[in-house]
Amino acid sequence: MMRVSKMMLVTSLVGTAFLSSTLAFADETPAPVAAGAAAAAPTWTFPGSVSLVSDYLWHGQTQTWGRPALQAGIEIDHASGFYAGVWGSNVSSHWLPDADLETDWSVGFRNSFATDFRYDVGATYVYYPGGNFSKAPAAGGLYTSSKLNTVELYGSLGWKWFTVKGGYNPTKFYGWNTNNSGNGSQAASPGASFAGDATAGVNNGGSTRGSGYVVASVSYDLPAGFNIAGEVGRQMIADSSNLDWTWYKAGVTKNFDGGWAVNAAVSGTAGTNAYHGFASFDNAGDTKTIDKTKLLVGLTKNF
């Protein structure tokens, strides 16, 4: 399903890493720099990027029904380690009821210590304008109102090329509950919400608050502007049965002068069949395996 803090993590797959800062300002005019002295680091920087990707995957699941996505983001970074930013992408209402756009609004603090170590803590509000299960045409008014908007609290710890990260949802997991994501034995879910496994779904009375994930990732720079990266993670859905999954991805990025980069990666999942042959929220006759293994390509302009 959806994302949470993709500004820091998903970028390793689709090449949307915020690589450079281009603007800076200060409250006062700085004093002249003495000859031969290095210029002081800017207090504020504003890294951003725009990307075109062949599919928008979050934790191994397509958010665009297997179609391309245009994505963009920008951050405001302070020298202290504080940052705030926004990132957006088109999404598909086939998978996210009545949603065409996802925006991630993040705020946090990150810094380094002991030379090779770093940390990052923060929160992301994932907002889908208009997204609501009650507006799914294929449901025929069966689902009660449940917005997709979600909060993620996250923290990570890194050493050189290795990072571990965890995320926690104090809200419902993208609007999932018994009414719209229950298993086939529940009255509000005739047949099954997840066609790949009729026993899978949110448990009776479950709210999915308290869902979360853990992920370990690597990113290593090579000569000639190449970077190799990969990750393995586990998504856990609270108050549910047979919905948790493991995802993995591995890819390579080539960086060019002028902030351009191209990327290719393989992504896949394991651990559940629930998301196989998923029926569209727009048209129940249109089905898609949400989490199949696939090759992704992307083009990014960093600024």
Closest CA to 299 of 59, 22, 72: 72
Q: Where on the phi/psi map is residue 225: left (φ > 0), alpha (ψ -120 to 50), or beta?
A: left
Q: What is the pLDDT of residue 38?
A: 58
Instruction: Identify the band that residue 12 occupies on the pLDDT scale cut at 50, 70 and 90.
Output: very low
Q: Which of 20-34, 190-204, 242-256 has the highest mean pLDDT?
A: 242-256
Q: Provide the residue ranges of all domains of the chain, joining segments of one domain with +.
A: 11-18+42-302
pLDDT at 29 over 80: no
Closest CA to 57 of 22, 19, 11: 11
What are 219's strand-pairing partners?
229
Q: What is the pLDDT of residue 192?
A: 63
What residue has token string 């390509």? 297
Domain 11-18+42-302 = CATH 2.40.160.40:
yes
If one counts every other C-beta atom within 10 angstroms of the C-beta of residue 30, the result is 10
CA–CA distance, 52 with 251 (Å, rounded to integer): 16
- Asked which of 117-121, 157-161, 201-205, 241-245 is least confident by mean pLDDT, the reply is 201-205
CA–CA distance, 78 with 224 (Å, rounded to integer): 30
Contact 131, 163 (CB under 8 A): no
